Amino acid sequence: MMWHALLVGFGGFLGAIARFTLTHWVKRRWSAQIPWGTLTVNWIGSLLLGGLWGIGVSTTAMLLLGTGFLGAFTTFSTLNWESIQLGRQQERIALFTYLLLTYAGGLFWAWVGWTGGDLLP
């Protein structure tokens, strides 16, 4: 059990650093009403988690990569905070677009990862 916690913790450490790095890289390149950095990490995370399920990784790999790394890489709390901010700024079109892209895109990318992983030998 302690080994599992260490796997999740180590994966989470790396995932949080990767999210921070990628989110800030995206923000520097695309400034807009929609928080593209958070959207990008959540789409990539959905794709990768779907891929892990699709290829059927071991429990150990899922703890390290799925629960740990991707759990910290993707960010539901930031999504909610940014959505509240858009609502408070009366940016209704940006808010609706952000939520639609997040949820529909997240489901799409998870499906792509899952079916793509399932196709691998």
Annotated binding site for Na(+): 71, 74
Binding residues: 71, 74
Q: What angle do CA 79, 111, 36 make, to 5 degrees?
A: 30
Alpha helices per DSSP H over 1-121: 2-29, 36-55, 59-61, 71-73, 76-88, 92-119
